[in-house]
Amino acid sequence: MRRALIAGACRAGRAGVSRSSGCIAGFAFALLLAGVTEPARAQATPKDTGAAMTGAGGPRRQMLEQRVRERFEQIVRQRLQLTDDQMQRLRQTNQRFAARRRELTEQERGLRSEIRRELQPGVAANQTHVAALADSLFAIQHQRLDMAEAEQKELATYLSPVQRVRFYGLQEQLRRRLEMIRQRRQGAAAAASRAP
């Protein structure tokens, strides 16, 4: 099962910076996915598994995310050929921007959920509320762009342009794959909650 997951993740990663970097990054994504699916099926019922995987502070989720972060650091160091000093500074930059990025993502997710509720078929939408939600979404996009610009300026102080472009590509691959995994996890949890 794990080999199939790794192979699939490698194929998905080849659309990124390069075939080799996509496959290496794919291994990290498969690591998380394999950790979520296989042990959970063996040790818990569907409802228990859903609760454990989706809990914001669940120890299993934290452990898996930590494993992915560590593997991703190894990938970045290898692909960008970073010195110890560059790796340390990159780690500090990531820590500074990661919390704000997560906050914006959660805010956006909440806004989109509210918009979906307002636009349900057969329900009259509150035009004023929808307009406010749309404005908030656009504001988040502006904040995300401002943050990305600030992050790139900081990275430019210790990474070369080629290193920055490669890092950005690996970063985007990781975000896309983790978001896909999150959505699958939520879908599985929702299906389990509906089961008799």
pLDDT digits (tens, 9 = 90+) for 75-134: 999 999 999 999 999 999 988 898 888 899 999 999 999 999 999 888 888 999 999 999
Query: What are the φ and ψ backbone dihedral angles of 128, each rounded to 5 degrees?
Result: -65, -40
Q: Residue 47 pLDDT > 80, yes or no?
A: no
Q: Say what the pLDDT of residue 6 is.
A: 41
Confidence band, pLDDT 50/70/90 cuts, at residue 159: very high
State residue 178's pLDDT score: 76
Burial of residue 167 (number of CB atoms within 10 Å: 0-12, 13-18, 19+): buried
Give 59's pLDDT tier (boundaries 50, 70, 90): confident
CB 193 within 8 A of CB 47: yes
Q: How confident is the model at residue 196 (pLDDT cuts 50, 70, 90)?
A: low
- Contacts of 180-183 with C-beta under 8 Å, sequence gap 24+, read 181/29, 181/32, 181/33, 181/36
Say whether 74 sits in a helix, a strand or coil. helix
- The end-to-end CA distance of the chain, in Å, is 28
Query: Which residue has better confidence, 38 or 108?
Result: 108
Q: Is the pLDDT assigned to residue 7 strictly greater than 80?
A: no
**Looking at the chain, how many residues does it have?**
196
Please tell me the predicted confidence (pLDDT) of residue 124. Answer: 87
Write the single-letter amino acid at 39.
P
CA dist 187 and 184 (Å) reads 5
Segment 27-34 mean pLDDT: 42
pTM of the model: 0.56
142 or 51, greater pLDDT = 142
Classify residue 79 as left (phi > 0), alpha (psi -120 to 50) or beta: alpha
pLDDT > 90: percent of the chain? 39
Q: How far apart are CA 30 and CA 1, in angstroms?
A: 10
Backbone dihedral region for residue 122 (phi beyond 0: left; psi -120 to 50: alpha; all else: beta): left
Mean pLDDT of 36-52: 39
Q: What pLDDT is recorded for position 71?
A: 87
